[in-house]
């Protein structure tokens, strides 16, 4: 992104503070008109915008336009990859960004960090912090395991804690 500047972005786009969308001020190609919302959704749910035949994620452009710098990693606070309002974007480490992920679609317990262990016939509670997996114990009750993980997540992940249950 070395070739991008705040001035260039402000020349190309208008920022809609209500939606976080970038709107073309100019006509970059024959297929796009001034006044149109810039970009298209990727299969991972991000908005991607082409500038001079290079593709950029819209949230990175929005952050650069507003803050004047670009951190290595950005986090969508509410987890919605299409919500590029500046108040929904924050610098993060890769680990912090991972902590803010939703529950995996492969999860069978219904709780982040809680897994059934066939050998012990108990629920295992674990959390990842500082790049290490931390075992929190085995439990007969899935809700008890989930509560232990929730408390540890709040303590260790702070503002990046995402319990994956819309009760955050």
Per-residue pLDDT of the chain (168 residues; tens, 9 = 90+): 558 899 999 999 999 999 999 999 987 777 888 999 999 999 999 999 999 889 999 999 999 999 999 999 999 999 899 999 999 999 998 888 888 788 888 888 999 999 999 999 999 999 988 778 999 999 999 999 999 999 999 998 888 888 876 544
Per-residue tokens: 82? 């299409």
Is residue 167 included in any domain, yes or no? no
Number of domains making up the chain: 2
Q: Which of 73, 92, 111 marks a domain boundary?
A: 92
CA distance 61 to 8: 11
- The domain boundary, picked from 92, 122, 140, lies at 92
pLDDT at 28: 73
Domain that holds residue 118: 103-160
Do 110 and 88 reside in the same domain of the chain? no
- Please check whether residues 81 and 109 belong to one and the same domain: no
Quick one: pLDDT at residue 1?
A: 57
59 and 125 both lie in a single domain: no
Residues forming a β-bridge with 134? 127
Confidence (pLDDT) at 168: 43
First to last CA, the chain: 34
pTM of the model: 0.76
Q: Which of 44, 60, 92 is the last residue of a domain?
A: 92
The answer to whether residues 129 and 73 belong to one domain is no
Residue 165, both tokens = 């249950």
Count of CB atoms within 10 A of residue 62's CB? 23
- What contacts 59, CB < 8 A, 6 or more positions away? 20, 46, 47, 74, 76, 81, 84, 89
Between CA 152 and CA 7 the distance in angstroms is 44
């Amino acid at each position: 992104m070395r070739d991008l500047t705040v001035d260039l972005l402000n020349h190309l786009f208008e920022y809609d503070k209500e939606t976080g969308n970038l709107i073309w001020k100019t006509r970059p190609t024959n297929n796009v008109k001034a006044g149109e919302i810039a970009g298209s959704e990727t299969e991972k749910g991000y908005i991607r915008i082409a500038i001079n035949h290079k593709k950029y994620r819209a949230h990175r452009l929005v952050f650069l336009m507003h803050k004047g710098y670009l951190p290595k990693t950005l986090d969508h606070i509410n987890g919605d990859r299409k919500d590029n309002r500046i108040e929904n974007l924050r610098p993060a480490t890769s680990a912090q960004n991972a902590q803010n992920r939703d529950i995996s679609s492969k999860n069978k317990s219904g709780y982040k960090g809680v897994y059934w262990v066939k050998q012990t016939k108990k629920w295992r509670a674990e959390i990842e912090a500082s790049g290490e997996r931390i075992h929190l114990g085995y439990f007969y009750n899935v809700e008890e395991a989930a509560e232990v993980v929730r408390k540890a997540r709040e303590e260790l992940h702070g503002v990046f804690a995402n319990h994956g249950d819309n009760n955050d």
